[in-house]
Every structure is written in structure tokens, then in C-alpha cells.
Amino acid sequence: MKVLNNDLKTSNFKAIYVLSGDDEFLKNSYKKRLKAAIVGDDQMNFAYFEGKGIDIDSIINFGNTLPFFSEYRCILIEDSKWFKSGNERFLDYVSNKPDSTKFIFVEKDLDKRSKLYKKVKDIGYIAELNHPTDIELRKWAGSLVNKAGKKITVTNMDFFIARVGNDMERLKSELDKLLSFTLDKDIIEEEDIRAIASVSLTGKIFDLVKMITNNKIKEALDIYEDLVALKEPPAKIMFFITKQFNQLLQIKELLFDGFSEQDIISKMNLNQYVVKNLIRQARGFDMAMLLSYIKNAIELEEAAKQGNINHKLALEMLMLTR
């Protein structure tokens, strides 16, 4: 991100920028900032293309036209998949394009072995914008709280991030809600977070696993139905359940080996509030029970993937595991 920030600050732009990674907030933010810095609100010198079947002739014609009362022309392309499937005509074109034409790509998947990836690496910049660490999130969210003239403890900030999740777009939305909710307060308390901040998928999965392991099948099904109502794919829910069982096993092994709570937080690179809850939950298991849950979860997930059973039935069967 340092390269992107420096280019935005100096207005010294590269030929092509590729924004990839799993953090949609960062990709959208830099997409908008780069476009605004290169051509501003000028629509005469801006073109947008998206998805499969992009007309390469239109791109080349627009790119070869000199800017109209502007220093640059800007072409924004999203989800082209050219960095996986390739596009020889575009590859040839960028080698000879006018210096006044700047490209911004926003892509989900990149193949680092592709010719286009290697070419852009030579003449442009490829930014992998992934979810930041909890420390980075805490610093970023804390700066927004301070800017709003409020205070929050590290413990409460960790609780907020653990509750909301590490997606920056979601975090920003939930933080805006929290700041509005505490408009007449100087200090944000845990009770404020509980009152207004919605629980992330990870948080709901934690509750779901807790209900499963406590043999509270009705409560587990209620949580599952809530997730389905929120249009969370059943396969994704099963994946996160299996992932949490594996995290519990890892923590159980670390506790057995004598690791302290701080050591486990550092080793697992997770939010300390999340780790504390996982440690509390892991202490309620013996190793054999955890291994049994993981074995069943993996087998049922595989059976659902192969179409032998549906995911709802797989989850119900997992709930009956003892």
C-alpha cells in the first residue's frame, strides 16, 4: 500500500495498476482514489469495462485517443479474468500504449505465471490488498474513533472487532453505527457495542459450535436457520464449523504443551478476545471428543460436496455427534 499511497501523494502514476486480494473495502477505496487522482470527475477521459466479453477494440480505440483538455485518460476494468485466461491483444497493446493512458484493474484471481501478470509487474504495480491483521485493524478503527472525538479501551476495541469481523467494509459500516449510537457519550463501552453492533458470521459460527457441543440441537438449528435467512451458503457454514473445531484442537494441544494465553494469541495470530473465548471453550473438551467432532465434520462436509447428502442434513447429523 505504500507504493499506492506514494503515487497518490506525488501524482506520479504508473502505466497500469492491478488491485487484487480479499479485502473488498481496500480494493474499492483505492479504485476510487486512483480514478479520482488520475481524471477526477471528468467523464470525457474515463472509460469503464466489466466482466467477460469485454470489447478489446473499444479499449484500444479509447486508449489511443489523446486526452481531452486533461493530462491523462483512465480506463477502469473489473473482473476481466485476463490475468488467468490471458489476452494476447491487450498484452501487445500495453507494450505500445500512449503514456497518457492509465489502466486500473480490479481482479479477484491472478495467475502469477501469466504473461500479463509478468508484463504488468514490469511496467506497473500489482497490489494484493488482503484483510489486515487485528493490530492494524485496531489502529485503523481507533483512529476513526479518535477522529470522532471519542475514546475506547483496547479491550473493548478487540471485543468490537471480534464481534463484527475483520472485513473493513463491514467494520466501517458497524463503526459508523456505533459512533452515531454513542453521539452523546465520550467513551464507548462494551454495553454500547453489544446494543448496536451486529454479530459477524464468525461470531455466529462460534455460538453454533457452542450449541452443538452442548447438545442444544434446537438452539443450534435456530442459529443455522438465521444464517440461511441471511443467505449464507450452507457449504460455507460447514467450512467455518470445521475450521473452528480445528482451531479448538490446535488450542487444546498448545494448552497441553504448556503455552500461556499470550503465547497462544501470538502463535495463532487471532484477535485476543476471540482466542480467550476459544481457550475457554477448548478447556471444556477432551482431545478424543474434539478429534471425533473434526473427523465427523470432515466426512460429512465431503459427503455434502459429493452430493450424497444435503448440507442441512449434514449439519443435523453433526449436531448428533457425541
Domain residue limits, the chain = 2-128, 134-196, 201-319
166: nearest Cα among 311, 17, 73, 269: 269
Which CATH fold topology does 134-196 show? Helicase, Ruva Protein; domain 3 (1.10.8)
SS3 136: helix
Contacts of 257 (CB under 8 A, 6+ apart): none
SS3 49: strand
Contacts of 144 (CB under 8 A, 6+ apart): 172, 175, 179
pLDDT above 80 for 176: yes
Rounded to 5°, the CA angle 7-11-14 comes to 55
Average pLDDT over residues 288-315: 85
Strands, sheet with 16-20, edge to edge from the N-terminal-most edge strand: 46-50, 73-78, 101-106, 16-20, 125-128
Work out the percent of the chain whose per-residue pLDDT is above 90: 49
Highest-confidence segment of 123-137, 139-153, 291-305: 139-153
3-state DSSP percent of the chain in helix, strand and coil, to 5: 60, 10, 30
User: 201-319 is classed in which CATH architecture?
Assistant: Up-down Bundle (1.20)
The mean of the pLDDT values for the chain is 89
pLDDT above 90 for 10: yes
pLDDT above 80 for 322: no
Average pLDDT over residues 66-87: 93
pLDDT above 70 for 257: yes
* pLDDT 10s digits, 194-243: 999 988 888 888 888 888 877 787 888 888 888 888 888 877 888 888 88
Asked if residues 185 and 192 have their Cβ atoms less than 8 Å apart, the reply is yes
Average pLDDT over residues 105-126: 93
Q: Looking at 100-201, which runs of residues are DSSP E strands?
A: 101-106, 125-128
Return the CATH class of domain 2-128.
Answer: alpha beta
Q: What is the pLDDT of residue 292?
A: 85
Work out the percent of the chain whose per-residue pLDDT is above 70: 99
pLDDT above 90 for 168: no
Q: What is the pLDDT of residue 321?
A: 64
Of 78 and 322, more confident: 78
